[in-house]
Amino acid sequence: MASRKSTQSADPREIIQWTRRYAQSRTIYFLIQWCLIVFVICIIGLVASLTQQAYTAGNKSLFYTSVVFLSITFFFFIWISVSRWTAEVVWQITLWFYGREGFVSPEENTRSKQLPRWVIALIGLMLVYHIFGAILISFRYLHLQYLQPFSAIILVPVLCVLIYYQGLGFWAWLWPVLYGLHAILLLAGIPISFPSPWFLLNIMVPIFGYGLIAILVGHVYSRYALWKLKTVTRQGLEIDNNEEIPEEK
């Protein structure tokens, strides 16, 4: 064991910390899901727009065709959201991306095992709340411009609770924070909204845009955390790999 030099110089707490930070910041899984959801939503948006144009132009055959296509796309969206096949495909792509780095799962966290019932109820309430918001808009009780702040009232706390219970890294908190800030800036009269006919982007862009920012920040941080982890771990670990490991006495 001639080439084994100083041995225990790395602080173990640092190794544990950077391992945890790295494991919590592996966001490729979320990025693939994000791409998939945005892709399907874009298709739904395009078909919905086509349906509306066909209705306005009075083109009945195109209208009925696009309604059928819209229904198929909508059911496809529901199917990919709940199917095991999608989860498996996303997981396999994630493993392929991280192939060289290997697999690591964040520390077993009792919080993330199962969401409490009140959290599931809160998610249900959030959906009902947004449907209520859409009704308010359709009856002109609420202007589309205020849909994002209206949504932020419930989406921000729901996201915070979900992030807490899933034990995600700091990057995930960027999502509700940026979404909340966006709502405050809108209410303060800062001109950061899309004009007509792009009003719907005022809700879509903050939801998915800030989500993407958070995911990308997490990915960049995971590169840094891995570099730090390797540095800290290899400190004082100068072992000749060709050497045989002697038996302990």
CB-wise, 191 or 248, nearer to another protein? 248
Does position 84 interact with another protein (CB under 8 A)? The reply is no
Does position 8 interact with another protein (CB under 8 A)? The reply is yes
Q: Report whether the peptide linkage leading into residue 197 is cis, meaning its omega lies within 30 degrees of zero.
A: yes
Site pattern 20..59 for another protein (x: CB under 8 A):
x--x------------------------------------
Q: Tokens 């996201």 identify what position? A: 159
The residues near 233 (Cβ < 8 Å, ≥ 6 apart) are 10, 15
> Which positions from 103 through 162 interact with another protein, judged by CB under 8 A?
103-108
CB-wise, 96 or 118, nearer to another protein? 96
Please choose, out of 66-74, 120-128, 175-183, 229-237, the segment that lies near another protein by the rule CB under 8 A: 229-237
Which of 37, 50, 49 lies closest to 76, judged by CA?
A: 37
Helix (H) / strand (E) element for 19: namely: helix 12-24
| Size of residue set near another protein by CB under 8 A | 37
Which of 4, 7, 2 lies closest to 235, judged by CA?
A: 7
148 in Cβ contact with 186 (< 8 Å): yes
CB-wise, 9 or 83, nearer to another protein? 9
Give just the sign of the alpha carbon dihedral 222, 228, 231, 234.
negative
Does position 85 interact with another protein (CB under 8 A)? The reply is no
Binding site for another protein (CB under 8 A): 4, 7-8, 10, 12, 15-20, 23, 92, 95, 99-108, 226, 229-230, 233-234, 236-237, 239, 241-242, 245, 248-249
